[in-house]
Amino acid sequence: MPADEHDNDEQDAPQPITLIDESGNEHTFRMHDAFELEGVAYYLVESAEDSSEVMLLREAGGGLETVEDAEFQRVMAALEEDRVD
């Protein structure tokens, strides 16, 4: 594989990030997407240990909160329909 193709693969790979939960425990995730919808920043992440664990997070109060229920459905629909920035 030519070097420039390898560089593109690395750029496309999800970026590892470490998040700290409410109990102070560190967890490693891979960042799949970061986007804005209606002025709110969202992050789609996957657990580095368990690829079936995918979370949608939003910036709130200087930290991150898990997005669930109706908001999760609304934001994921907007992401799938490419209505995000």
Q: What is the DSSP letter of 49?
A: S
Residue pLDDT, tens place only, 15-65: 899 999 889 999 999 999 999 999 999 999 999 999 999 999 999 998 999
The SS3 of residue 35 is strand
- The top-scoring range by mean pLDDT among 1-5, 61-65, 75-79 is 75-79
Residue 45: partners with Cβ closer than 8 Å, 6 or more residues away: 17, 19, 29, 30, 31, 32, 54, 55, 56, 57
pTM for this prediction: 0.79
Comparing CA positions, the residue from 47, 48, 68 lying closest to residue 56 is 68
Please state, in angstroms and rounded to a whole number, the distance separating the CA atoms of residues 2 and 39.
40
